[in-house]
């Protein structure tokens, strides 16, 4: 009887000691799991896409223009990368051709542009963003227009389906589109209405 009682007591201490040894291990395992969940990567994937549409552009002169100044209706097409930084923020660099300027042929300004948009998710379907844009003038040379253009950009896009979206962008030039030696000063503005597809 004494032997049975002694074995029971020893067995009880053994079980208690084993349970105490396993608890810290479980805690460490849980902590490691939580750390893995919380320390996710900043970069969360990238999608490539194409967008194209309609331009409505105009030149805003300092003072009265020397010629008839009407808006120009034209087109743009571009290729983009949508880099997700988080669930709500993405970075969208783009390379596009955009025909801008005013309606008169001598005021046509065709650019290869690189906008960089910081985009924010407002809802499941609506995103809005802003950013800078640089442009390189093409097609014409020594026409009195500056070769480089810089603009500020804002935009809103609406997700139609998993891959298709529609967007509206507004750009405002922050630099004179003409060479300083020309004695003429004007800023280019443009509205883009487009649709796009992300692969």
pLDDT in tens, 57-105: 999 998 877 677 899 999 999 999 999 999 999 999 999 999 999 999 8
Co-location of 133 and 103 in the same domain: yes
Co-location of 25 and 71 in the same domain: no
Collapse the DSSP code of 124 into the 3-class scheme (helix H, G, I; strand E, B; otherwise coil) and give the result.
coil
pLDDT of residue 17: 47
Co-location of 79 and 159 in the same domain: yes
Co-location of 67 and 134 in the same domain: yes
What CATH number does the domain containing 132 carry?
A: 2.40.160.20
Co-location of 34 and 79 in the same domain: no
Q: What pTM did the predictor assign? A: 0.78
Q: Any idea of the CA torsion for 19, 21, 23, 28, to the nearest 10 degrees? A: -160
Contacts of 54 (CB under 8 A, 6+ apart): 73, 74, 75, 76, 192, 193, 194
Co-location of 65 and 7 in the same domain: no
Co-location of 23 and 50 in the same domain: no
Contact 81, 46 (CB under 8 A): yes
Co-location of 30 and 57 in the same domain: no
**Range of 10's domain?**
1-40
Q: What is the DSSP letter of 183?
A: T
Cβ count near 14 (within 10 Å): 10
User: What is the total count of domains within the chain?
Assistant: 2
Co-location of 30 and 74 in the same domain: no
Co-location of 16 and 74 in the same domain: no
Co-location of 92 and 160 in the same domain: yes
pLDDT of residue 18: 40
Contact 186, 196 (CB under 8 A): no
CA–CA separation, 75 vs 70, rounded Å?
16
Give mean pLDDT, residues 3-28.
45
């Amino acid at each position: 009887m004494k032997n049975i009682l002694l074995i029971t007591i020893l067995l009880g201490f053994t079980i208690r000691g084993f349970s105490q040894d396993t608890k810290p291990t479980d805690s460490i395992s849980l902590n490691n799991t939580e750390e893995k969940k919380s320390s996710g990567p900043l970069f969360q994937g990238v999608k490539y896409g194409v967008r194209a549409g309609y331009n409505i552009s105009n030149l805003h002169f300092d003072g009265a223009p020397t010629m008839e100044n009407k808006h120009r209706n034209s087109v743009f097409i571009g290729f983009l990368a949508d880099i997700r930084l988080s669930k709500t923020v993405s970075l969208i660099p783009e390379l596009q051709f955009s025909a801008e300027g005013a309606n008169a042929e001598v005021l046509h300004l065709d650019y290869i542009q690189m906008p960089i948009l910081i985009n924010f998710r407002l809802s499941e379907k609506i995103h809005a963003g802003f950013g800078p844009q640089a442009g390189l003038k093409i097609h014409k040379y020594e026409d009195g227009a500056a070769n480089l253009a810089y603009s500020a950009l804002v935009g809103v896009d609406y997700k139609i389906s998993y891959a298709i979206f529609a967007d509206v962008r507004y750009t405002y030039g922050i630099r004179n589109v003409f060479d300083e030696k020309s004695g003429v000063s004007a800023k280019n503005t443009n509205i883009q209405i487009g649709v796009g597809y992300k692969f």
